[in-house]
Amino acid sequence: MEKREVIYRHSGTVRITHWINVLVLLVLLMSGMQIFNAHPALYLGAQSNFDAPILAMGAMQEDGDTVKGVTTVFGHSFNTDGVFGAATDAEGNVDERGFPWSVTLPGHRDLSMGRRWHFFFAWLFLLNGLAYLLWSLGSGHLRRDLAPSGKELSHIGASIIEHAQLKFPKGKEAKRYNVLQKLSYLIVALVLLPLMLLTGLAMSPGMDAAFPLLMLGGRQSARTIHFITASGIVIFVAVHVFMVLISGVWNNLRSMITGRYAIEPAEEKP
Amino acid sequence: MSGERGLHRRGFLTRGLAAASTALLAGCDELSDQPWVKRVLDSAETLTRVSQRALLSPTALAREYSEADLAPAFRANGSTDPGDPDYKAHAAIGFADWKLGIGGLVEQPLELSLAELRAMPSRTQITRHDCVEGWSCIGKWKGVPLSALLDRARLKPDARYIVFYCADNLFETGEEKDKYYESIGLVDAYHPQTILAYEMNDQTLPIANGAPLRLRVERQLGYKMAKYVMRIEAVDHIAGIRGGRGGFWEDLGYEWYAGI
């Protein structure tokens, strides 16, 4: 019978940049929602077509006097009262905003502080991301651990089915990322996170003047892509945390803290 | 019994995460009120300003658009109808005997009427106005380049900033110290697109958009572009003026460098 084996899975650089990123992305997300709340609507193009936002959150007067929080997506309105758009407190005061103040930074309307948190942590995000990417390229981490082989890609269907059944590899196979992990980490590290930075800069009038060609369809399109990409990262994190929880939470956490990861022996046929 | 232990651990983890995030939220809010945290977070503004200045040549123009891109209705934000009695008196007669004052660290202080400003060489530009709130509108502006006014008044060598004093008072206190003001450095003051606009979309500048004169600083956010400009002063530092941070919104916590 194979023995339980402990391997060294994550290098110091991966572990440190991972946890810095956790903190940085959390602050960026929360302060980002504060900034969004200053004008909770999204548009396409260079400027704002106030009459036809592609997404908007706000208060809407119903018949009579009741005011409800409403989210409008491509002209379709949904009642999101109490969550997005507006909430009414016990005294009947209507608070119109996008996201609830319980998830923004600061936890009440304060655009200037939201911007300060956001831009300070955006610099940390840039430096941390650069450190990770340069190290990953130089050390071979990208090529060795993250780039999927042709063979892996051709078996992606089987891997999807295994994941859907919540079956995780054991033994030798568990020593490396599986193809779905490789692809999702690559997309996050090389596409989504860099896109957050680019679309963020594309909203800056200063950067816009410096690099007119990089402006991704105009300031309002950039703001919309920034929002959608952030939502994509939130979805990734939700799935990532779920997978961490169900595939051996302590082993996973330990490997991202100390680097050491226990490999359970492959099941033997009786 | 590993299943039960797993469940127990999961419950512990969930509760732990919930407690941690609540603590983090409360902690960040408390941190936001600490002066030292503000100072640390402020360091990003310097980093952003220095980086953008390095990437952005002093004469690089903000993008200019075509007539077809003009916003159907250019949004007016902040003050839209100043209540100041002097201002109202001037507005009532179309600013006919109103004068822009230019003073401070200049060799030749000036008082210029709207007619005199209109007689000077002008610049017309169709640009995108980016509000700090997140929206944008494209408008057409015609006005006097600020550089032409500063050349006429001849800046003294120790002048570092140009301060704009305005007629509007967002707090509506009626007090001079609460009125809108803004400041820019000499790089932006001499930028070709920095103008004092008296026309918007081929019409006399409406009161809602800052009549008789509004500043355009096209490579920064909307709040830098002071409306209802009454007086311009060249100074060597901004720390001694009102809140000390160089502008109405700056004194309320916004960045002086609003290029992002």
Task: Give CA–CA dist A133/A120, Å, rounded.
Answer: 20
Q: Which of A212, A186, A216 is nearest to A198 (CA)?
A: A216
pLDDT band for position B16 (50/70/90)?
A: low
Q: Which residues of A are less than 8 Å from B25 in CB distance?
A: 30, 102, 105, 107
Q: Give the residue from B166, B179, B98, B112 showing the smallest Cα distance to B144.
A: B112
Q: How far apart are CA A200 and CA B131, in angstroms?
A: 15
B24, pLDDT greater than 80: no
Residue A196: pLDDT over 90: yes
Say whether pLDDT at A205 is over 80. Answer: yes
Banded pLDDT at B13 (limits 50, 70, 90) = low
Residue among A26, A256, A36 at smallest CA distance from A125: A26
Contact yes or no for B220 and A205 at CB 8 A: yes
Query: What gap in Å lies between CA B124 and CA B216, rounded to an integer?
Result: 11
Instruction: For residue B109, give Cα distances in angstroms to A167, B86, B100, B119, B143.
Output: 80, 22, 11, 18, 20
- Inform me whether the pLDDT recorded for A216 exceeds 90: no
Task: Indicate the pLDDT class of residue B2, thresholds 50, 70 and 90.
Answer: very low
Whole-angstrom distance, CA of residue A79 vs CA of residue A81: 6
Indicate whether A160 pLDDT > 80: yes
User: CA B76 to CA B210: how far, in whole Å?
Assistant: 9
| A5-39+108-263 homologous superfamily | Transmembrane di-heme cytochromes, Chain C (1.20.950.20)
Q: Is residue B5 over pLDDT 90?
A: no
- H-helix or E-strand containing A83? none
Q: Does A205 touch chain B (CB under 8 A)?
A: yes
Is there a contact between B25 and A110 if contact means CB atoms under 8 Å apart? no
Q: What pLDDT is recorded for position B3? A: 43
Q: How far apart are CA A194 and CA A190, in angstroms?
A: 6
* Chain B nearest CA to A260, separation (Å): 20
Q: For residue A11, with 0-12 CB atoms within 10 Å meaning exposed, 13-18 middle and 19 or more buried, which class applies?
A: middle
A145 touches chain B (CB under 8 A): no
On chain B, the residues whose CB falls within 8 A of the CB of A46 are 65, 69, 128, 136, 138
The strand pair at B181-185 and B195-200 is best described as unpaired
pLDDT-based confidence at residue A172 (cuts at 50, 70, 90): confident
| Spatial separation of the C-alpha atoms in residues B188 and A74, rounded to whole Å | 39
Nearest CA in chain A to B57: A210
**Greatest extent of chain B over all pairs of C-alpha atoms, in Å:** 90
Chain B residue numbers touching A209 (CB-CB < 8 A) = 56, 60-63, 218-219
Least confident range from A127-136, A139-148, A159-168: namely A159-168
For residue B40, give the chain A residue with the closest CA: A120
The alpha-carbon radius of gyration of chain B (Å, integer) is 23
Cα(B49)–Cα(B98) distance, rounded to whole angstroms?
Answer: 36
Beta strand segments in B48-109, E: 99-104
CB A123 within 8 A of CB A60: no
Does residue B126 sit at the A interface (CB-CB below 8 Å)? no
- The per-residue pLDDT for range B58-75, each reduced to its tens digit, is 999 999 999 999 999 999
Q: Is B165 left (phi over 0), alpha (psi -120 to 50) or beta?
A: beta
Residue A48 backbone phi and psi in degrees, to 5 = -95, 120
Looking at the complex, does the CB of residue A246 fall below 8 Å from at least one CB of chain B? no
- Per the listing, tokens 């006014």 go with B149
Structure-block tokens of residue B161: 């900033």
- Rounded to the nearest angstrom, the minimum Cα separation between A88 and chain B is 22
Q: Report the predicted TM-score, pTM, of the whole model to 2 decimal places.
A: 0.92
pLDDT at A84 exceeding the cut of 70:
yes
Q: With contact defined as beta carbons under 8 Å apart, do A258 and A1 qualify?
A: no
What span, in angstroms and rounded, lies between the C-alpha atoms of B37 and B40? 5
Give the contacts of A106 (CB within 8 A, at least 6 positions apart).
A34, A113, A114, A117, B28, B29, B32
Whether B167 and B231 have beta carbons less than 8 Å apart is answered as no
CB B185 within 8 A of CB B160: yes
Cβ atoms within 10 Å of A143's Cβ, excluding its own: 10
Query: How far is A64 from B118, CA to CA, in rounded Å?
Result: 52
Pick from A98, A144, A117, A87: which is nearest to A25 by CA? Answer: A117
For residues B253 and B33, the answer to whether their CB atoms sit within 8 Å is no
Peptide bond before residue A106 is cis, with ω within 30 degrees of 0: yes
Picking from A55-64, B104-113, B161-170, which range would have the lowest pLDDT averaged per residue? A55-64
Kindly indicate the confidence band of residue B1, based on its pLDDT and cuts at 50, 70 and 90: very low
The domain ranges of chain A are 5-39+108-263, 41-98
**pLDDT > 50? residue B6:** no
Residue A97 to residue A40: CA distance in whole angstroms: 7
ipTM over 0.85: yes
User: How confident is the prediction for chain B on average, in pLDDT?
Assistant: 92
Tell me the β-bridge partners of B127: B139
The residue count of chain A comes to 270
pLDDT in tens, B172-209: 898 999 999 999 999 999 999 999 999 999 999 999 99
pLDDT of amino acid A53: 96
Distance of residue A69 Cα from the nearest chain B Cα, in angstroms: 20
Tokens 């979805």 sit at which residue? A235
Backbone torsions φ then ψ of A254, nearest 5 degrees: -60, -40
pLDDT of the residue at B79: 94
The pLDDT, as a whole number, for residue B80 is 95
The arithmetic mean of pLDDT across residues A54-68, rounded, is 86
Mean pLDDT of chain A: 92
